[in-house]
Amino acid sequence: MDPYSPINGVSLERYADLGAELDGITDPGEQARKVGSLGVAAGDWEAAKAGWTARMQDMSLMGQVATRYMQLYNAALAAKKGVASASFEDWVAVSAAIQVYGFEGAVGHYQLSQGDWTTISAHWNNEISRDPMNLAVRRNQLQESEANRLRGGGQPKPIQVNRQAAGAAPAGGAAAFDPNAAMAATMAVGQQNVAQWQAYSAGVMNQPGIQQAVGLAGAMAQVTGGSGLVMGRKVLVAWSDGNKYPGTIVQLNGNTHCQVVFPDGRNMWVENQYLTPA
């Protein structure tokens, strides 16, 4: 089946356009009346919602329908209502509030519509795709810190939302859909998540008590003729510039290479000869 074939006569382009028309309308009855005034029967609208949502969530499609929809939706919002924007720090603050209070509670507090949040997020997710290792790590650190502050009884931070008039350029670029680019973006996000998890794991392993046990395991490995390079051990990596940089071993490849995570979240496979237990 073509994943982009219309559902009850509603194409993905039409569905995105209708979604932009419904921005700010949350009551199902009001939504039905609005789409009816635009020439779509309530039954067809419900079928389209269910069908397009299912295709966007279909893992076998690798997020391609969802990626295409967001591009169309962002473009429709920009054309009809303009674009909402916020600073990186304010985007993170709302993301943390959503993490703690849920989506409806957070956007309700900040008086943001679905379209507002979509366009703000589209911009910053596009920026993260340009610099995933730095901006994504910073986002995660700030968001977790702010979420912990809110859980501790802190109040949500005030934010500043800027709005452009209808006809503004779509947030995040909303470039023409390219299935290959969408697939590459999906893979990049997967790799980014792996890198973030490895960095988190390295942080856990670097706790003093765990490092004491890891150091003992490494010493025992050396006694039996091994290298002393074991998973979780902090090491110094000899670099081509003559310096040594700290890292943590997260994987081993026999007795020849180790995968090392550095403090900034980057990771790479390094030959054992360039590693020294820290």
- Yes or no: domain 208-277 corresponds to CATH 2.60.120.10: no
Token code pair at residue 76 = 């429709």
Task: Report pLDDT digits (tens) over 7-32.
Answer: 999 999 999 999 999 988 888 899 99
pLDDT: which is higher, 174 or 89: 89
Task: Report pLDDT digits (tens) over 227-241.
Answer: 677 777 788 888 877
Q: How confident is the model at residue 52 (pLDDT cuts 50, 70, 90)?
A: very high
Q: How far apart are CA 22 and CA 149, in angstroms?
A: 34
| DSSP per-residue letters across 101-169 | H-HHHHHHHHT--HHHHHHHHHHHHHHHHHSIIIIIHHHHHHHHHHHHHHHTTPPPPP---EE--TTPP
Per-residue model confidence (pLDDT) at position 77: 87
Query: Is pLDDT above 70 for 151?
Result: yes
Query: Is pLDDT above 80 for 187?
Result: no
Shortest CA distance to 73 belongs to which of 163, 162, 7, 172? 172
The amino acid that residue 88 corresponds to is: F
Q: Where are the domains of the chain?
A: 12-177, 208-277
Task: Report pLDDT digits (tens) over 1-12.
Answer: 789 999 999 999
Summarize the confidence of residues 138-147 as an average pLDDT. 91
Per-residue model confidence (pLDDT) at position 231: 76
Summarize the confidence of residues 88-97 as an average pLDDT. 94
Q: Using CB atoms within 10 A of its CB, is residue 32 exposed (0-12), middle (13-18) or buried (19+)?
A: middle
Shortest CA distance to 167 belongs to which of 267, 75, 48? 75
Query: Is pLDDT above 90 for 39?
Result: yes
Query: Is pLDDT above 50 for 176?
Result: no
Q: What are the angstrom distances between the C-alpha of 33 and each of 25, 51, 81, 264? A: 11, 20, 20, 51
Q: Whole-model pTM?
A: 0.55
Per-residue model confidence (pLDDT) at position 114: 84
Q: How far apart are CA 157 and CA 147, in angstroms?
A: 11
Q: How confident is the model at residue 183 (pLDDT cuts 50, 70, 90)?
A: low
